Structure 1
Amino acid sequence: MAKKQHIPDQDALRRMGTKVRERLAANPQAYQIESDKAELFAIGDFLTPAECQRLCLMVDDTARPSSLHEVAYDSGFRTSYSGDLNPHDSFVKEISQRIDDVLGVNSIVGEPIQGQRYALGQEFKPHNDWFYTSEKYWLGERKRGGQRSWTAMVFLNDVEQGGETHFTDIGIKVEPRTGVLLIWNNALPDGSPNEGTIHAGTPVLKGTKYIITKWYRTRAWK
């Protein structure tokens, strides 16, 4: 009999997946996007236009060339600007807590909210949010809180053209709409990383795109 492959944090990913899945299923405001490859949910008008505008200004204040594990900015793989919002700011804390409450998870497993800005032509090519545990960077991420479980992303503005979040394996494109919260499970129900969650931020063809993203780990974020 073949030996079962060890997947780091699999049990924690499975438990957290079940918890959040049940929480969202019971939320009448949460719409599940139909797919047999990944668990995707959306909530419209999660943030007000005024809240979104305020967050856009905060993104502008923190935006720097986006980084990526072992991939340089000038590679063209991720050409947006991004930065962590101040987790001690009372407004940011309130927004962060509201996202935590929707998912029903303890705030200690959440990373700081990151803001991202995409100008004309900028993009984030297809990628997964979960970590490849065979790579060197995993040793550090394991200590910082382990594998990423769920992703929560809020669109802060309408984009005139382009800038969709494209789940390339599933064949679904989500257009940026002000205040919409998009949530997905980076793991399968059994707790193994889900290859089907590969997604891209498509190039902005007209206008500018603003979003905030919060990722959740399997253990306390350090």
Structure 2
Amino acid sequence: MNGLGESSAEQMLSHANVQRFPSSRLDLFIRRDFLDVRQCAQLIELIESNHRPSTIADYNGDDAFRTSSTCDLSTDQPVVAELAGALSRLSGIDPVYAEPLQGQRYEVGQEFKAHTDYFEPGSTDFDKYCSVAGQRTWTFMIYLNAVEAGGATRFRVIDKVIQPETGKLIAWNNRRPDGTPNAATLHHAMKVRKGFKYVITQWYRERPWA
């Protein structure tokens, strides 16, 4: 396992069926069928049973900036523990660097406008979120269903739009090679036009989470 919440392109590409998006601007990877239909259905059921309005760090005054719901997922649930282990094996990152897994739920019209996952250095809440576990390093996100319409993830800087597919994982490094936050990771969870969208997100940190 790697220290400092760190994965690498070599680590990711050592696994079968992992594809790297060709870009010099950021490290972005896609792995279809990371979860099977059974696992996705179980995770959707957990999200439906206990979700709350999503929040953001450094509130920007836009109440419509993030309109999804969020569910905290406990590894006391076997399917969650199984997923956490699978993500650690894929990333090569020790689970102690992982934030608790979260599920997100989007209804028609809901979105998360263009944002980055790292905490902005110098921002009001930077010390609050980074003083213990440090900055976010990698993001791993898994679509749990194929959305009837809408709900894609758009990386604006590289002009890449990723469509939701059941069990598909996308992952990216939130930093540049020199370790500074990478603004090219800006991404937009686009509005759901029909049906629902469910995703799982795993963020890793520079230092142990707890």
Counterpart selection for 2:139 from 145, 151, 155: 151
| 1:60-139 matches, cutoff 5 A | 60-71=48-59, 75-139=63-127
| 1:33-52 matches, cutoff 5 A | 33-52=21-40
Q: Quote the residue 1:218 is aligned against.
A: 206
**Contact 1:20–1:105 (CA under 8 A) maintained in structure 2:** no
| 1:7-22 matches, cutoff 5 A | 16=6, 19-22=7-10
Identity %: 38
Unaligned runs of 5+ in 2: none
Shift in Å, 1:134 = 0.3
Q: Which amino acid aligns with 2:59?
A: V
Q: Quote the residue 1:24 is aligned against.
A: 12
Shift in Å, 1:139 = 1.1
Cα distance per residue 1:7-62 (max 9 Å; x no partner): xxxxx58xx2xx42220122232111122211110111110011101100111122
Residues of 2 paired with 1:154 and 1:69: CA distance?
22
**Contact 1:62–1:85 (CA under 8 A) maintained in structure 2:** no
Could you tell me the TM-score, scaled by structure 2's length?
Answer: 0.94
Structure 1 runs of 4+ off > 6 angstroms? none
Shift in Å, 1:190 = 1.5
Q: Secondary structure at the match of 1:215?
A: strand
Residues of 1 paired with 2:51 and 2:179: CA distance?
33
Residue correspondences, number:
207
Q: Secondary structure at the match of 1:220?
A: coil
Residues of 2 paired with 1:171 and 1:36: CA distance?
13
Shift in Å, 1:73 = 9.3
Q: Which amino acid aligns with 1:215?
A: W
Q: Quote the residue 1:182 is aligned against.
A: 170
Residues of 2 paired with 1:80 and 1:144: CA distance?
27
Counterpart selection for 1:165 from 136, 153, 166: 153
- Root mean square deviation, CA, Å: 1.6
Q: Secondary structure at the match of 1:67?
A: coil
Residues of 2 paired with 1:137 and 1:71: CA distance?
9
Larger radius of gyration: 1
Shift in Å, 1:159 = 0.5
Q: Secondary structure at the match of 1:132?
A: coil
Change (3 A) 1:197 1:86: same
Deviates more, 1:42-51 or 1:132-141: 132-141
Could you tell me the TM-score, scaled by structure 1's length?
Answer: 0.89
Shift in Å, 1:84 = 1.0
Shift in Å, 1:90 = 2.4
Cα distance per residue 1:124-179 (max 9 Å; x no partner): 00000001120121112223310000000000000111100110111101000000
**Contact 2:158–2:184 (CA under 8 A) maintained in structure 1:** yes
**Contact 2:58–2:123 (CA under 8 A) maintained in structure 1:** no
Shift in Å, 1:182 = 0.6
Q: Secondary structure at the match of 2:8?
A: helix
Unaligned runs of 5+ in 1: 1-11
